[in-house]
C-alpha cells in the first residue's frame, strides 16, 4: 500500500498540473490559477485523490524558499542596502497601515480588540509566492512596481517573527512576564541564526562551492546548491523564523559570487516544480465545506481584506511615484492575502483565540483572494489599457527605457582577458562565463566580474542574458565546445553578433559553418608580429616590414575563404593551398625583382649625376 501511495501522489500531481495549467493559460488566466484549480479538484473536498494526511504543504513550501533564494541572488548587498529605506519605510507603512485598518474594521463590527489585531496582522500579509511568480511571468522584476513589491515582501518576512511572538502574548490575557520571556528568547534565537548565516556565508560558502566546482561534476554542484538552500531554511525553521527569509539572505550573500549564474541555472527547474506544488497545496487546503457553511462570513472577510488593503495601497502607489501603467500590478499583488496568514491563524487557534470554524473561514478567504488575483490582474490590465488609450502618450513617459543589451564573453583565459580589458577601457562592461574555478578566483582578485558555468548549456546562456544581448564573444580553448556554443547562438539567439577565436584553420572552417563571420585565429596575428620583427632585423625598414605582413595577412584570408567550398575534399584543399602559396611567393618574388631593378636604376642615375657633364 505504501509503495502505491508514493507512486500515486507524483502521478496525481503531474497529471493535474499538465492538464490544468495549459488549459488556464489557453483561457488567459495564468499558470497560478491553473495550479490552484488543480489543487481544489484533486484535494479531499472534491475528487479526494490526495488524502488529507499527506504532508504536501511542508514539501511545497520549499518552492517559496527556492524562489526567495533566487531573488536574493539577483540582489547584491549594495543594492539591498540601497533599498533599506523602501523596505523599512514603505514596507512598514503597508504592513502597519493595512493591519490598522483591518483591526479597526474588526473592532467596529463588535469583535474583541485582541482578536481583531491578530486577524488584522494575518490578513495584512501578502503572498510572496504569488507576487514574485506573477512578476516573473510579466517580467516586472526590474520595474518600479516590481522593486516596490519586493521591498514590501521582504519587510513582511522580517516581521514574521515579531508577529508570531505577539500572538501568544495577546492570548495570555495579562501574563506578561512569561510572554515577554518567550519573546526575548525568540528574538535572541532569530538574531543568532541571521548572524550565523551572514558570517558563515562570508567565510565558508564561497570556498566550499569552489572546492565542489573543482570536482567538475555538474550533478554534485546541483546537489550542493540544493543542500545550501535546504540547510539554510532548516536553520531558520529551527529558531522559528521564516525559511524563505533565511534562503533570501543566503542568496544575497552569493549575489556577487562567481557561482551565481550556475546556481540560478541549476535551481530554476526545481523552483518551478516546487512552486507549482505550493500553489496546488494551497488549492487543496481550500475548505469548501467552511465556505458552504458560512458563505456570508467568508465573503465579508474577503471583501474587507481586498477593500481595506486597496484603501491603503492606492495612496501609497501615488506617494511612491509608481508609474501609472504599473500601479494595478502593485496594488493587486499586495492586496491579496498571504500564505503567512495560514500560519498566524493556525497558531491563534492553538492558543484558543479563534475557533476552528473561524480559522477555516479566514483561510478560505485568503485562498479565494489568491485565486482571484489573476482575474483581478486581467481586469486591471483592461481598465488600464483603456485609461492609457485616453491619456495617449502618458505611458511612454512613465515607462523606463530598456537597459542596454550586454556583451557576453565565454572564456576568461588569456584571449578573453585581452578583449575584456579593451572593452572596460572603453567603458563597456561584459558578462564573463568560465568553468575554471581557479582562473575565476584569480581574476576576481583583480576586480573582474566572472561567473562560474558551462557556456555550452542553453539554460545558462539564457540566465546570463543571451536573449537580450547584442554580442557573444567565444574565447574558450576547447574547439568542440566553441563550435557548440556558436551553433546554440545561431539556433536560439539569432540577434547575437558572434565574435569567435579559432585555434587553427579547421576550427575556422567549423565556426564558419556554424554561422560565425567574425573569426580570428589566435596565433596568426602574433606570428605575423614576430615575422615583422625578423624582417626588421634582416635590415628591412619598419614600415616596409609592416606593409609586407599586412599583405600576407590579406592574401592568407583571401585564400582561406576561397577554400571554404572545398571542405571535405582533402586533395582539392591541398592543391588550392599549394597554388595560393606559389602565387603569393611568385608575386612577392616579382615585386622584389622590380624593386631591385628600380634601385639599380636609381643608383645609375645618382652615379651619372655625380660624374657631372662631360668636358
Confirm whether 490 is domain-assigned.
yes
State the pLDDT at residue 11: 82
Task: State yes or no: pLDDT of 397 exceeds 50.
Answer: no
Give the residue-averaged pLDDT of 449-464: 78
225 or 499, greater pLDDT = 499
- Could you give the CA distance from residue 261 to residue 267 in angstroms, rounded to a whole number? 10
Output the pTM of the full model: 0.57
Domain boundary among 370, 397, 424: 397
Same domain, 349 and 489: no
Q: How confident is the model at residue 1 (pLDDT cuts 50, 70, 90)?
A: very low
Confidence (pLDDT) at 194 = 73
Lowest mean per-residue pLDDT among 43-47, 147-151, 361-365, 412-416 = 43-47
Residue 171 domain-assigned (yes or no): yes
pLDDT of residue 398: 47
Q: How many CA atoms does the CB half-sphere of 581 hold within 13 Å?
A: 6
- 386 and 485 share a domain? no
What's the pLDDT band for 48 if we cut at 50, 70, 90? confident
In a domain, 481, yes or no: yes
Tell me: do 353 and 490 sit in the same domain. no
**Shared domain check, 60 and 150:** yes
Average pLDDT over residues 454-477: 85
Task: Judge whether 384 lies within some domain.
Answer: yes
Residues 133 and 161 in one domain: yes
User: Domain for residue 299, yes or no?
Assistant: yes
- Mark whether 427 and 440 lie in a shared domain: yes
**Short-list 264, 302, 312, CA closest to 136:** 264
Q: Which distant-in-sequence residues (6+ apart) come within 8 Å of 314 by Cβ? A: 331
In a domain, 383, yes or no: yes
Of 341, 373, 397, the residue at which a domain comes to its end is 397
Q: Which carries the bigger pLDDT value, residue 268 or residue 549?
A: 549
Domain count, the chain: 4
* 542 found inside a domain: no
Instruction: Scan for cell 494551497, then name that residue.
Output: 282
- Which pLDDT score is estimated for 604? 67
Residue 16 shares a structural domain with residue 99:
no
**Residue 237 or residue 316, greater confidence:** 316
The residue segments making up the domain with residue 48 are 1-53
CATH of the domain at 101: 1.20.1530.20
290 with 391, same domain?
yes
Residue 187 has a pLDDT of: 65
The stretch 418-437 carries a mean pLDDT of 81
Confidence of residue 500 (pLDDT cuts 50, 70, 90): very high
Are 163 and 296 part of one and the same domain? yes
Domain edge (last residue) among 522, 541, 556: 522
Of the chain, the percentage scoring pLDDT greater than 90 comes to 3
* Cβ neighbours, 10 Å, residue 503: 17
Each residue's pLDDT tens digit, 206-251: 788 778 877 777 778 778 877 888 888 788 777 766 677 777 777 7
Residue bearing the bigger pLDDT, 89 or 76: 89
Dist CA 359 CA 363 (whole Å): 6
Residue 8 lies in a domain: yes
**Judgement on whether residues 281 and 164 belong to the same structural domain of the protein:** yes
Q: Do 436 and 392 fall within a single domain?
A: no
pLDDT at residue number 607:
62
Residues 308 and 435 in one domain: no
Tell me what the mean pLDDT of segment 79-105 comes to.
84
Greatest extent of the chain over all pairs of C-alpha atoms, in Å: 137
Tell me the CB-side half-sphere exposure of residue 146, using CA atoms within 13 A.
Answer: 17
Amino acid at each position: 500500500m505504501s509503495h502505491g501511495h508514493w507512486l500515486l501522489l507524483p502521478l496525481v500531481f503531474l497529471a493535474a498540473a499538465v492538464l490544468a495549467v495549459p488549459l488556464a493559460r489557453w483561457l488567459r488566466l495564468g499558470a497560478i490559477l491553473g495550479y490552484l484549480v488543480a489543487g481544489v479538484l484533486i484535494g479531499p473536498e472534491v475528487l479526494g485523490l490526495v488524502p488529507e494526511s499527506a504532508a504536501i504543504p511542508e514539501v511545497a513550501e520549499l518552492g517559496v524558499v527556492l524562489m526567495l533564494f533566487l531573488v536574493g541572488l539577483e540582489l547584491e548587498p549594495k543594492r539591498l542596502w540601497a533599498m533599506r529605506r523602501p523596505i523599512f519605510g514603505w514596507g512598514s507603512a503597508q504592513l502597519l497601515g493595512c493591519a490598522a485598518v483591518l483591526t479597526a474594521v474588526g473592532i467596529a463590527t463588535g469583535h474583541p480588540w485582541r482578536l481583531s489585531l491578530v486577524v488584522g496582522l494575518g490578513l495584512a500579509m501578502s503572498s510572496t509566492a504569488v507576487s514574485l511568480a506573477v512578476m516573473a511571468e510579466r517580467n516586472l522584476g526590474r520595474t518600479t512596481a516590481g522593486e516596490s513589491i519586493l521591498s514590501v515582501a521582504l519587510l513582511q518576512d522580517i516581521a514574521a517573527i515579531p508577529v508570531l511572538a505577539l500572538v501568544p502574548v495577546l492570548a495570555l490575557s495579562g501574563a506578561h512576564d512569561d510572554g515577554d520571556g518567550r519573546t526575548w528568547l525568540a528574538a535572541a534565537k532569530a538574531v543568532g541564526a541571521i548572524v550565523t548565516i551572514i558570517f558563515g556565508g562570508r567565510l565558508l560558502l564561497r570556498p566550499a562551492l569552489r572546492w565542489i566546482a573543482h570536482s567538475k561534476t555538474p550533478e554534485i554542484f546541483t546537489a550542493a546548491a540544493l543542500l545550501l538552500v535546504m540547510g539554510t531554511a532548516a536553520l531558520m525553521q529551527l529558531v522559528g523564523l521564516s525559511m524563505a527569509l533565511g534562503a533570501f539572505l543566503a542568496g544575497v550573500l552569493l549575489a556577487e559570487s562567481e557561482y551565481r549564474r550556475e546556481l540560478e541555472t541549476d535551481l530554476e527547474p526545481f523552483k518551478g516544480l516546487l512552486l507549482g506544488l505550493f500553489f496546488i497545496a494551497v488549492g487543496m487546503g481550500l475548505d469548501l465545506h467552511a465556505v458552504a457553511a458560512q458563505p456570508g462570513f467568508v465573503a465579508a472577510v474577503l471583501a474587507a481584506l481586498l477593500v481595506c488593503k486597496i484603501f491603503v495601497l492606492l495612496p501609497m502607489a501615488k506617494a511612491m511615484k509608481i508609474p501609472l501603467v504599473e500601479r494595478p500590478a502593485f496594488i493587486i499583488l499586495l492586496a491579496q492575502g498571504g500564505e503567512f496568514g495560514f500560519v498566524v491563524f493556525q497558531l491563534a487557534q492553538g492558543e484558543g483565540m479563534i475557533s476552528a470554524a473561524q480559522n477555516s473561514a479566514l483561510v478560505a478567504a485568503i485562498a479565494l483572494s489568491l485565486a482571484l488575483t489573476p482575474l483581478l490582474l486581467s481586469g486591471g490590465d483592461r481598465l488600464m489599457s483603456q485609461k492609457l488609450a485616453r491619456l495617449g502618450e502618458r505611458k511612454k513617459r512613465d515607462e523606463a527605457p530598456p537597459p542596454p543589451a550586454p556583451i557576453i564573453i565565454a572564456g576568461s583565459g588569456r584571449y578573453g582577458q585581452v578583449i575584456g580589458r579593451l572593452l572596460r577601457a572603453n567603458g563597456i562592461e561584459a558578462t564573463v562565463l568560465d568553468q575554471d574555478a581557479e582562473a575565476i578566483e584569480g581574476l576576481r582578485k583583480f576586480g573582474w566580474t566572472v561567473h562560474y558555468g558551462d557556456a555550452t548549456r542553453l539554460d545558462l546562456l539564457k540566465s546570463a542574458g543571451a536573449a537580450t544581448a547584442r554580442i557573444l564573444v567565444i574565447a574558450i580553448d576547447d574547439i568542440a565546445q566553441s563550435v557548440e556554443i556558436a551553433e546554440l547562438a545561431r539556433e536560439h539567439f539569432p540577434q547575437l553578433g558572434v565574435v569567435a577565436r579559432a585555434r587553427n584553420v579547421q576550427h575556422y572552417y567549423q565556426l564558419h559553418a556554424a554561422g560565425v563571420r567574425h573569426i580570428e585565429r589566435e596565433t596568426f596575428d602574433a606570428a605575423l608580429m614576430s615575422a615583422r620583427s625578423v624582417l626588421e632585423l634582416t635590415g628591412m625598414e619598419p614600415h616596409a616590414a609592416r606593409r609586407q605582413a599586412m599583405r600576407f595577412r590579406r592574401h592568407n584570408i583571401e585564400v582561406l575563404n576561397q577554400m571554404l567550398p572545398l571542405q571535405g575534399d582533402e586533395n582539392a584543399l591541398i592543391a588550392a593551398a599549394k597554388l595560393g602559396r606559389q602565387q603569393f611567393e611568385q608575386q612577392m618574388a616579382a615585386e622584389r625583382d622590380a624593386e631591385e631593378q628600380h634601385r639599380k636604376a636609381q643608383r645609375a642615375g645618382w652615379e651619372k649625376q655625380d660624374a657631372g657633364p662631360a668636358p
